[in-house]
Amino acid sequence: MKSVYLGITGDIIHPGIINIINEGAKLGELTVGLLTDSAIVSHKRLPYLTYEQRKNVVENIKGVAKVIPQEEWSYVPNLKKIKPDYIIHGDDWKTNYLSAIREEVFEVMKEWGGQVVEIPYTQGINSSALADNAKAIGTTPDIRRATLRRLIAAKPIVRIMEAHSGLSGLIVENTEVMKDDGLHSFDGMWSSSLTDSTSKGKPDIEAVDLTTRLQSLTDILECTTKPIIYDGDTGGIPEHFVFTVRTLERNGVSAVIVEDKKGLKKNSLFGTEAKQVLATEEEFCEKISAGKKAQVTKDFMIIARIEEIIAGYTVDEAITKAFAAVKAGADGVMIHSKDKSGEDIKEFCAKFRAVYKNIPIVLVPTTYNQFTEDELAAWGANVIIYANHMLRASYPAMQKCAEEILKAERSLEVNDICMPIKQILELIPGTK
């Protein structure tokens, strides 16, 4: 029997996919190369279903003989491995973003005399529209919560942008840029205590309780689908942190970041004192351990924010606290610094990676923002948080608008700096 290869993502199975599978099965024994999360995520959004869930669906479709992982976006590695007699594909790849891959496939199939079979595109089926419709429906707390771990496992860098309102969340959710290496977008959102309180015109103090923070968080949760990392400040006493963990987990938040400070909150960006009051190793680990015991699912993450460097201590002291936090159950570490050179962060990453190869490192490169995501990934970082840029960008724009209207005594002069209200409303689900 002839061998046939078909590569698919398998996230949304529609009549067009079934038609290609049927046509492939007519040619011989059909092997489906199911793209892994890591193969997909650098070019498209992370699939709604996990690889195992997608595999379970596809291998039970009539006509599929077996399912193997396709570890790369390109079909070529799998084709060279199994050397099929045929590869089957919809003919829409002649003109869409897969046209370059199509040329590669034709070249490699010539090596063993294989044939490329192109099936006419099924009319009336728009995969992108189906994906957009699924996105419009929303998500569930369980799916959203689990997404961050999947992204960390699948991507070299998970890109997180601050959101402080439903509208800023929608901007983070929908902004995309097509580059040579594929589609670039934000993978999730950072719910910052600083930007949340500032957007409300209130000081960033830890007396602002979780109930108050949840108002803004709920606004974001209700109109977006991407994972959220929550800024938990110090988390309070262990009993308070237990409540925070349970509340966030129940609402579908993916992770909480808790810092090792104690006492009256003082933002890391202010102050020239050499040393701030930090929790002892025992105090910090007790809180992390209590939070881990409180969570219900395996998906939720507690990330330890190590403040030693920014508080004037050494990198080695920061490493000692980080190691202790991991042993207490922390799922990742965030290391912070005001040093614009980034050298202390780089040193920390190297020393941490020498011991822990797979524990996620989270960086917030606000002060050392000359480094690209690829460079930070080379240091060992897994997650990059752009911690306050949406709020910082909005303030000068609003202030300029207000000043221009006062100067001109009319709004005509600000037309060019104001987005049409129709364009804003198009962001809002249900208004199109």
Q: Which positions are annotated as active-site residues?
A: 204
Q: Which long-range contacts (CB under 8 A, 24 or more apart) does 81-85 make?
A: 82/3, 82/5, 82/31, 83/3, 83/112, 83/114, 84/3, 84/4, 84/5, 84/31, 84/114, 85/2, 85/3, 85/4, 85/27, 85/28, 85/114, 85/115
Burial 175-203 (b: 16+ CB within 10 A, else e): eeeeeeeeeebbbbbbbbbbbbbbbeeee
Q: Which value, to the nearest 10 degrees, does the dihedral of the CA atoms of residues 311, 317, 321, 323 take?
A: 140
What single letter denotes the amino acid at residue 27? L
Compute the distance between CA of residue 216 and CA of residue 224 in angstroms, rounded to an integer.
Answer: 13
DSSP 424: H
- Residues in a beta bridge with 70: 35
Strand ranges (E), 115-271: 115-119, 158-162, 176-179, 182-185, 188-191, 228-231, 255-259
| Backbone region of residue 10 per phi and psi (left: phi > 0; alpha: psi in -120 to 50; beta: other values) | left
